[in-house]
């Protein structure tokens, strides 16, 4: 393997189930690996270092970016991916998650999972003898946060000392961003209404991480103050995939829409970010989403490179 890619033996064979499964130095290793893989792809240089490896995908929810990034990424690394929707499995007929994990472990070298209930992810990992990757739960989205971190570093050239504003629903993406950004020295302010703020336990962990990294974590109900002086302003959908409709939620979140007024108080070089899919006119104005400060499609592209980095670090070597 090329000298530019440093493979960490401590990452090989690891589950990545939560944002806190990676130390700050391991996060940087993933970002450095993604940067090399992105350059190799741009230069059309071969990097099929996972030849002979197979990734199994178990997805309960539809996916555009995560599924495509994992499948394309695995093939670009020389391996292959097998996708099974929840309707393709025997879980509905009573087979347990642990039995499913045991069977998958006999067939594939790693499993990427997208499920609603985080406990299902943990149960599958407990029954698996191969690495399990969290491709999204209703509580968190770790590799999305890694990808967003990579995009920030690519844009600004560094991470420590950046200020990041998240406006809207304190959902799974918000949780992962809080934990991942605070671990590497990015100060995070979340603005949202009462009842739709991030989990207090997540906020407490993020504050402990920030105390070590030299960052700060704030929760507020003022979107303008959250965005003031920020390097990046981020939002996500106001209604999450698979979520039961909550009366009054859209009305409560409406004041936290990212508008031109919000972006005007951020730094002049500040960027707008969104993990997609987005709803123009709901959580963000079209003029912001499609404007010159928007880097949403850079984020989407970088999910490919970061997923490849995670796959390479976790699946390299012999089983």
Average pLDDT of every residue of the chain: 96
Peptide bond into 232 cis (omega under 30): no
* 209 DSSP assignment: H
The confidence band for 89, taking pLDDT boundaries of 50, 70 and 90, is confident
Residues 104-145 have pLDDT tens digits of 999 999 999 999 999 999 999 999 999 999 999 999 999 999
pLDDT class of 264 with cuts at 50, 70, 90: very high
Give residues with Cβ within 8 angstroms of 2, minimum separation 6.
36, 40, 47
Structure confidence at residue 209 (pLDDT): 99
- Output the pLDDT for position 102: 96
Rg (CA), the chain: 19
pLDDT value at residue 195: 96
pLDDT of residue 244 exceeding 80: no
pLDDT exceeding 70 applies to what percent of the chain? 98
Identify the band that residue 1 occupies on the pLDDT scale cut at 50, 70 and 90.
low
- Contact status, residue 177 vs residue 211, Cβ threshold 8 Å: no
Contact 130, 111 (CB under 8 A): yes
Cα–Cα dist 230/263, whole Å: 9
pLDDT mean over 290-314: 99
Q: Looking at the whole model, is its pTM more than 0.85?
A: yes
Q: Which CATH architecture has domain 19-140+303-315?
A: 3-Layer(aba) Sandwich (3.40)
Q: What is the Cα–Cα distance from 139 to 118, expressed in whole angstroms?
A: 7
CATH number (3.30.70.2190, 3.40.50.1370, 3.30.750.80, 3.40.50.1110) of 144-300 reads 3.40.50.1370
Upstream peptide bond of 277 is cis (omega within 30 degrees of 0):
yes
Q: What pLDDT does 73 receive?
A: 99
Structure tokens, 298: 């850079």
313, 12 contact by CB (below 8 A): yes
Q: Flag whether pLDDT at 164 surpasses 70.
A: yes
User: pLDDT tier at 215 (50, 70, 90 boundaries)?
Assistant: very high
Domain with CATH 3.40.50.1370 in the chain: 19-140+303-315, 144-300
């Amino acid at each position: 393997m090329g000298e530019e890619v440093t493979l960490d033996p401590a990452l090989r064979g690891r589950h990545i189930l939560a944002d806190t499964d990676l130390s700050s130095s391991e996060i940087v290793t993933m970002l450095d690996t993604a940067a090399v893989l992105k350059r190799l792809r741009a230069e059309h240089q071969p990097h099929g270092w996972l030849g002979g490896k197979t990734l199994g995908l178990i997805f309960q929810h539809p996916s555009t970016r995560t599924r495509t990034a994992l499948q394309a990424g695995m093939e670009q690394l020389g391996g292959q991916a097998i996708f099974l929707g929840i309707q393709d499995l025997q879980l509905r007929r009573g087979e347990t998650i642990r039995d499913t994990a045991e069977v998958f472990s006999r067939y594939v070298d790693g499993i990427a999972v997208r499920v609603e209930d985080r406990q299902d992810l943990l149960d599958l990992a407990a029954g698996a003898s191969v690495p399990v990757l969290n491709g999204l739960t209703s509580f968190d989205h770790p590799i999305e946060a890694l990808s967003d971190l990579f995009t920030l570093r690519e844009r600004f050239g560094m991470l420590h000392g950046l200020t990041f504003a998240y406006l809207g629903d304190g959902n799974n993406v918000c949780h992962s961003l809080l934990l991942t950004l605070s671990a590497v020295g990015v100060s995070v302010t979340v603005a949202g209404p009462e009842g739709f703020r991030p989990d207090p336990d997540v906020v407490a962990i993020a504050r402990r991480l920030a105390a070590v990294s030299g960052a700060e974590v704030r929760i507020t109900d003022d979107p303008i103050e959250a965005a003031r002086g920020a390097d990046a302003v981020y939002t996500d959908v106001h209604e999450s995939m698979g979520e039961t409709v909550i009366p009054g939620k859209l009305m409560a979140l409406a004041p936290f829409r990212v508008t031109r007024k919000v972006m005007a108080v951020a730094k002049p070089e500040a960027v707008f970010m969104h993990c997609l899919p987005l709803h123009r006119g709901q959580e963000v104005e079209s003029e912001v989403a499609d404007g010159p400060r928007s880097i949403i499609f850079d984020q989407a592209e970088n999910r490919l490179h970061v997923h490849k980095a995670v796959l390479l670090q976790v699946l390299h070597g012999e089983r």
